[in-house]
Structure 1
Amino acid sequence: MEDFSITDIYSGNVDRTPKQDANRFRKETGFPSPARDHFEKPLSLDEYIIKRPAATFFVRVKGDGLNKIGIFSDDILVVDRSISASPGHVIVAILEGEMVARNLVKQGKDIYLSQKKSLDGATKITDMLDFEVWGVVSHAIHKYI
């Protein structure tokens, strides 16, 4: 298999205390601001990405082994441990004592872990393997620069 590893794991519990005063328009005196109707809530990436903080982890990966499924070296995977894995999901699993990220593929009754969207070089999951799904990748954060 190509070089690929999980290097760091971080908790998804983040500080969600409001950074802005939600009542700042109530402090106005005199004529109300015309911009009041156009006030937008600030974008919070953690609220967008993290649905269940207690079950969410960030996993940094190294290596080019998952390039064919859109995951690159130094990407951060957002892993939700509360989602049930299904074929087509990218998962983080414990395979023979090693934490790996792979594409979950089903063909007929057989389940495979693949570094690609195809079964080339895939590992067939059997009762003989020490295998456990650790979580499902919900997002991959990728730097362009």
Structure 2
Amino acid sequence: MLLHQSNALTFFTPEILEDSGATFFDTGISCGFPSPAEDFKENRISLDRELIKNKEATFFAKVSGQSMIGAGLEDSDLLVIDRSLEPANNKIAVCFLDGEFTVKRLKVDATGVWLQPENPDYPVIKITDANDFVIWGIVTNVIKKV
């Protein structure tokens, strides 16, 4: 379900299905030659259960832009965001800054808070008292299309 759209992120609430899950082969998948003698142990895995620890505080957001490509977050990637986690130095966070949502790496020390992009083409943002600023949630996972 679409929750909110901004220039940088589009937010969705997760819909957890009780009987969801895809087939999971618990053997590892070789990138070399397959072993014909390997027995495949087949289970079911739910990405909801794997990626969402706190259902009420978790949201998805689709990335728009290139400011975090160095951290592996690319345009159209789907972020899993947990609002119940405490912000901390070096975490990747979704922040509300001066009327817009953005995703950046938090840099926190005794002198202040900075939002650090992971692309040298984008500036570091120093948070000041003049900013309307809220750390909205912490990115826990990224889902990519290949």
Q: TM over 0.5: same fold?
A: yes
Is 1:44 matched with 2:32?
no
**1:11-30 equivalent positions in 2, closer than 5 A:** 11-17=13-19
SS at match of 1:86: coil
1:136 pairs with 130, 135, 138, which one? 138
- Contact 1:13–1:56, Cα closer than 8 Å, also in 2: no
Is 1:84 matched with 2:80?
no
Q: TM-score, normalised by structure 2?
A: 0.74
Aligned CA-pair RMSD: 2.4
Partner of 1:5: 8
Number of residue pairs aligned between Structure 1 and Structure 2: 122
Give unmatched runs, 5+ long, in structure 1. Answer: 20-37
1:66: Cα distance to partner? Answer: 1.1
SS at match of 2:16: coil
- Contact 1:57–1:79, Cα closer than 8 Å, also in 2: yes
- Contact 2:92–2:105, Cα closer than 8 Å, also in 1: yes
- Contact 2:14–2:58, Cα closer than 8 Å, also in 1: yes
Larger radius of gyration: 1
Q: TM-score, normalised by structure 1?
A: 0.74
Partner of 1:61: 63
Supply the AA of the counterpart residue of 2:87.
A
Give unmatched runs, 5+ long, in structure 2. Answer: 1-6, 22-39
1:109: Cα distance to partner? Answer: 2.7
Between Structure 1 and Structure 2, which shows a larger proportion of helix residues?
Answer: 1
